[in-house]
Amino acid sequence: MNKDYYNILGVNKSASKDEIKKAFYKLAHKYHPDKKEGNESKFKEVNEAYQVLSDEGKRAKYDQFGSGFENAQGFGGGQGGFGGFDGAGFGGFQGANVDFDFGNLNDIFSDFFSAGGGPASGWGGNKARRGRDISTEIQISFSDSIFGISRKILITKTSNCLTCHGSSAKAGSGMVTCKTCNGQGQIRESKRTIFGNIANTKICEACLGAGEVPKEACETCRGKGVMRREEEVDISIPAGIRDGEMIRMSGYGEAVSKGTAGDLYIKINVAPHPVFKRDGHDIVMNLNLKLSDALLGTKYPIETLDGHIEVTIPEGVGINEVLRVKGKGVPMGAKNKRGDLLIKLNIKLPSKISRKSRELIAELKKEGI
């Protein structure tokens, strides 16, 4: 069955990498199994779509062959699977004493083309075991989002056993050949189909494809190789990260016996700052000025994220005029380049005017000011 990865992520076929990434982050957060209304099946589907569409090479092959692109070029002259097959070629079975369910075509061809193919084969081949992806979220300060920071978090998840390090064997006991599969890691079985008896292989459930089992099981994890425990994870948060962005840490998800660990997704929540706001790669702030400072100009001290600076207010600045301080904004990644600090000037008019001030303003009025 061909999967529409664009539809799964809710994007157009012309979507950019950033659009695909944003769509994935949004859906991964929505469907994550740890959420109250999460959906593990949907989460895996979204993750699968992102893994293909985020890779230019895989995306190009997917656009040409569909979701079976990794195997499609081996059949039908590279035209994506079975070409124009629609079941019409089986018309000769009409009237024969054969039970034929077109709804099971995928399973039938899966068995047929995986015969003898082993774990690495295309259709019907055994996929490597992989642990579950997990997610969490942390909050950082506005300043840390601009300059980046390293954080340590504690996560309770299924991880490799600390005693046997995932081998599932008792210390010093070693491993022995699996008797169920005779060390092959897979079991060959025969299935009867309309094409006759077809041989197929599957991973041995006793050794999970390893071909060996522990002579004596680890007492800590009872031979499972994994156990649920608390683990400390070091997270490196890059400079310039935005509120709501997610960091993916490959292999830091849940472990699975005789397989690879899933991934860890960390959503970053940036706490609002009382003075500064972000606008792209620029940082914006408001500065209240007295009317006299706006008219005559002055120097004004400001505490930025980088420390103390002094800003020159020119004479006669207008209401809502913006001053730009270069290089005090968000890091842009290339050659330590940064955005700017934008200072929006707000001129505070006095609510009450003294007699002397009134007289001075009257003089200014006479001069046309």
The annotation status of 181 as a binding-site residue, yes or no, is yes
Measured distance CA(329)–CA(304) in Å, rounded: 10
Residue 185 lies in a domain: no
Is 221 annotated as ligand-binding? yes
Instruction: Give the model's pLDDT for residue 277.
Output: 97
282 annotated as a binding-site residue: no
Task: State the total domains in the chain.
Answer: 2
For residue 183, the model assigns a pLDDT of 86
Residues 319 and 325: beta-carbon distance below 8 Å: no
Distance CA(270)–CA(272), nearest Å, equals: 6
End residue of a domain, out of 83, 98, 117? 83
Establish whether 176 is an annotated binding residue: no
In a domain, 62, yes or no: yes
218 marked among binding-site residues? yes
* CATH number of the domain encompassing residue 298: 2.60.260.20
Other CB atoms within 10 Å distance of the CB of residue 128: 12
pTM of the prediction?
Answer: 0.58
pLDDT tens digits for the chain (369 residues)? 678 899 999 999 989 988 999 898 888 888 887 777 788 888 888 888 888 898 888 888 888 777 766 655 443 333 333 333 333 333 333 333 333 333 344 444 444 444 344 333 333 445 568 899 999 999 999 999 999 999 999 999 999 999 998 888 888 888 899 988 988 888 887 777 655 677 778 888 888 888 888 889 999 998 888 999 999 999 999 999 999 999 999 999 999 988 899 999 999 999 999 999 999 999 999 999 988 888 889 999 999 999 999 999 999 888 889 999 999 999 987 667 999 999 999 988 877 888 887 787 787 777 776
Is 28 part of a structural domain of the chain?
A: yes
Domain boundary among 65, 83, 101: 83
Task: Please answer whether residues 63 and 52 qualify as being in contact, where contact means their C-beta atoms are separated by less than 8 angstroms.
Answer: no
Tell me, yes or no, whether 25 lies in a domain.
Answer: yes
Q: Has residue 237 been placed in a domain? A: no
**What residue numbers bound the domain in which 53 lies?**
1-83
364 appears as a binding residue in the annotation = no
In a domain, 241, yes or no: no
CA dist 120 and 124 (Å) reads: 9
Residue 233: Cβ-neighbour burial (10 angstroms; 0-12, 13-18, 19+): middle
Please name which of 295, 322, 324, 300 lies closest in space to residue 311, comparing C-alpha atoms.
300
Provide the sign of the torsion angle of the four alpha carbons 109, 112, 118, 121, taken in this order.
negative
Which residues neighbour 25 within 8 Å (Cβ) at sequence distance 6 or greater?
244, 245, 246, 267
In a domain, 351, yes or no: yes
Nearest to 140, CA basis, from 326, 271, 304 = 271
Rounded CA-CA distance 142/269 in Å is 9
Which of 63, 83, 103 corresponds to the end of one domain?
83
Check residue 169 and report its DSSP letter. Answer: B
- Distance CA(329)–CA(283), nearest Å, equals 5
296: left (phi over 0), alpha (psi -120 to 50) or beta: alpha
The predicted pLDDT at position 205 comes to 83
The per-residue pLDDT for 60 is 85
Q: Which CATH number fits the domain that encloses residue 31? A: 1.10.287.110
Helix (H) or strand (E) holding 189: strand 186-193
Which 3 state secondary structure label does DSSP give 120?
coil
The answer to whether residue 253 sits within a structural domain is no
